[in-house]
Copies of this chain bind each other. A is one copy, B any other.
Amino acid sequence: MKPTATTHVILGALQWRPRSGYDIKQLVDRSTRFFWAASYGQIYPELGRLEREGLIEGVDHPTGRRRRRLWQLTPAGREELVSWLARDEEPLYETRDEGLLKFFFANALPADEQVALARRIGDHHARIVARLERIEADVYGDPAAERGFPYESLQHRLELHRWMARWYDEAAQRLAAGLGA
């Protein structure tokens, strides 16, 4: 069975410390979800597969009477993680951007609504920025918090969506100026 999309998310999430499936989902929702999502329906079955292949192993760590299984990397698992990271092949890059798709087709709209559309899309990216800033405050509010690659990745997304918000605002201004002429 060749590694799938979620395989490496799980392997990567376990590189720092053992985690439960629920725990992995938490991490994903606070970080990678903005550029690589994963749902329970992918995570739990994949944990089973990875165990069968010897890339991770589970240890029971119940909380009282509540069952709970922590997963950790095996040496083979860490090897697969590192080899994926170091592998020199085109990384997958895909986007579903309904905002830009609308912008692409925008000349079907009357001129004033074109301006409104550009503004709305800009606002949308501004809202994503706000969401990311909240996460930034939650996770890195403490100045003692370590700032490694996850932090840099968050900054990447923050700057990216700020750039997008600005781009659409400028587009809206250009369109509005054309309207007045």
Contact surface of A with B, Cβ cutoff 8 Å: 5, 8-9, 12, 15, 31-32, 34-37, 78, 81-82, 84-86, 88, 90-109, 113, 116-117, 120-121, 124, 128, 148-150, 152-153, 156-157, 159-160, 163-164, 167, 171
Determine the residue in chain B with the shortest Cβ distance to A81: B108
Q: Which residues of B contact A105 (CB under 8 A)?
A: 8, 12, 15, 81, 85, 149
Q: CA A90 – CA B124 in complex, angstroms?
A: 7
Q: Which residue of B12, B86, B148 is within 8 Å of A101 (Cβ)?
A: B12
A52 to chain B, nearest CB (A): 23
Q: Which residue of B lies closest to A78 (CB)?
A: B108
The 3 closest A-B pairs by CB, nearest first: A12-B105, A91-B98, A35-B97
State whether A35 touches B100 (Cβ < 8 A).
yes
Chain B residues near A34 (CB-CB < 8 A): 95
The docked-state distance in angstroms from the alpha carbon of A101 to that of B96 is 17
Expressed in whole angstroms, the minimum distance between the Cβ of A6 and any Cβ of chain B is 11
Beta-carbon contact of B93 and A149 below 8 Å: no
Nearest chain B residue, comparing its CB with the CB of A104: B153
* Chain B min CB distance to A143 (Å): 20
A150 and chain B: residue at smallest CB distance: B104
